[in-house]
Amino acid sequence: MHMSALHDRFGVEIRDVDLSAVTPQDGFSEIREAFDRHSLLVFRDQQLDDEAHLAFGRLFGTIEIRRKQPEKHTAEMSMVSNLRDDGSVAGEESRPVMQHKANQLWHTDSTFLPWPALANIIAPQVLSSSGGETEFVSTRAAWADMPEALREKIRGRVLRHSYAHSRKKIAEVAASEDFVQRWGDTAWNAVWPNPATGEEALYIASHAFGIVGMPDDEAQDLIDELIAFCTQPHYVYIHAYTLGDVVAWDERATMHRGRPWPYEEERSLASICVTAGEADGLELVRPAA
């Protein structure tokens, strides 16, 4: 396995490994260690079908069941795509594209679920001629650099999250769909320490709409200030996908956002999320009762 840095604060590119051959006994411990340490892993030259993609995900933990998918994929596999079930491409003003626009807000996945995610693992299947990159930031690096006065405002606090909140920022219609309304609000500690490395990261997303015990206006201003601090240009790594990439990121220590692409062209990324377990520090992010 050969690793090289993607950004001076986080992220590594890994070559010379065949993910379809990795097992708990052979190769996974090095990958898991790199994941905990670097937060973002980009593997090149892979060939994972859905089954191999899911098998690799299961090495990290339980795969999150996401929404209803086109028949050719299981419920564990989410296609981040503008291709409709009937094979047509969804254009600029369509509902699927509105959901993609909400993905273009800085976030970490699944903070609105009762089971927060550990990882998202993406393998591109169809790429557009341009655009469609994913931008990442390290909320661990940003937290480490943050002025103490700002850290003090959020340390020990609990953030409230809702999927409908981030969708509402794009359009009411994007917030009203069944799968958006399915979940109630969640609450997670604003700082998630990694039990393997001891390093803390800010756990924040566009889904965050409030802070327990703080007036809403003040909370929203603080959330905006924290996200703005974390997403300064010097924290950003932009990943332009190549077929054969497998990109895995630590949801506990990063934020990401999608970039637009020419929506008249199909762009499909196979995406799975792995749910965080106790060994990933779940009890450390769960608010005290």
Is residue 64 close enough to count as binding Fe ion by CB under 5 A?
no
Q: Which of residues 178-207 bind Fe ion (CB under 5 A)?
A: none
CB of residue 257 vs Fe ion: minimum separation in angstroms?
Answer: 8
Q: Degrees (nearest 5) of the Cα angle 46, 49, 54?
A: 95
Nearer Cβ to Fe ion (139/214): 139
Measured CA to CA, the distance from residue 171 to residue 239 in angstroms comes to 27
The stretch among 39-47, 82-90, 103-111, 201-209 that binds Fe ion (CB under 5 A) is 103-111
Residue among 81, 145, 135 at smallest CA distance from 108 = 135
244 contacts: CB under 8 Å, gap ≥ 6? 44, 45, 46, 47
Give bridge partners of residue 269 from the DSSP assignment.
80, 124
> Which of residues 109 and 199 has its CB atom nearest to Fe ion in the complex?
109
Output the smallest distance, CB 107 to Fe ion, in A: 6
Among 41-49, 55-63, 104-112, 167-175, the segment contacting Fe ion (CB under 5 A):
104-112
* Minimal distance, residue 128 CB to Fe ion, in Å: 18
Q: Which of 64, 76, 109, 200 binds Fe ion (CB under 5 A)?
A: 109
Distances (CA, A) of 143 to 3, 199, 254: 25, 10, 11
Q: From CA 205, how far away is CA 112, in angstroms rounded? A: 10
Q: Work out how close the CB of 4 gets to Fe ion at its nearest, in angstroms, rounded to a whole number.
A: 25
> Among residues 55 and 105, whose Cβ is nearest to Fe ion?
105
Tokens of 10: 């986080």
Contact in structure between 182 and 176 (CB atoms under 8 Å):
no
- With contacts defined by CB under 5 A, name the span among 26-34, 40-48, 101-109, 244-252 that binds Fe ion: 101-109
Q: Among all residues, whose Cβ is closest to Fe ion?
A: 109
> Of 22 and 249, which CB lies nearer to Fe ion in the complex structure?
249
Cα separation, 128 vs 150, whole angstroms:
40
Strand partners, 124: 269
- Give residues in contact with Fe ion (CB under 5 A): 109
